[in-house]
Structure 1
Amino acid sequence: MKLITIKRETKEEKRFTPKMGELITKVTYIKRLFLNVPIQTLHKYRETYYGEVKDCAECSLQA
């Protein structure tokens, strides 16, 4: 049994960009797990309407 694993999870979130405004997009999180408990998020990215993959630092969460 492995103690540390890496898991990829995708969920839909509301995001806000200055140019487009509010949008709902699929955000993929890559997390490091220790005994199936998440300890660190390694990377998160989103796929645009046109199929490009962008880092989530460019847009913020919509409250």
Structure 2
Amino acid sequence: MSTCSTSGARPVGALLAGGLGTWAGVRPALVAGACLLVVPCVVLARSPLRALRHMPGVAPASGDAA
């Protein structure tokens, strides 16, 4: 499902990026794209996933020292 949704979003993103590049110029479009690439990193850094050491609902292996 994830591959299908990301593959389907690529043409839409390309169309939006082309429109932004035409409307605002190439440099602002590239800066906007670079800023948007930082968003997932910020979301993951602020999420509780950083503290997750084991998969929820799965017992750790017997050799693990938690």
* Fold conserved between structures, TM > 0.5: no
Instruction: Pick the structure with more strand per residue.
Output: 1
Interval containing the TM-score (normalised by the shorter chain):
under 0.3
Query: Taking CA–CA contacts closer than 8 Å with sequence separation of 6 or more, which of the two structures ends up with the larger relative contact order?
Result: 1
Taking structure 1 as the reference length, what is the TM-score of the superposition? 0.19
Taking structure 2 as the reference length, what is the TM-score of the superposition? 0.18
Instruction: Pick the structure with more helix per residue.
Output: 2
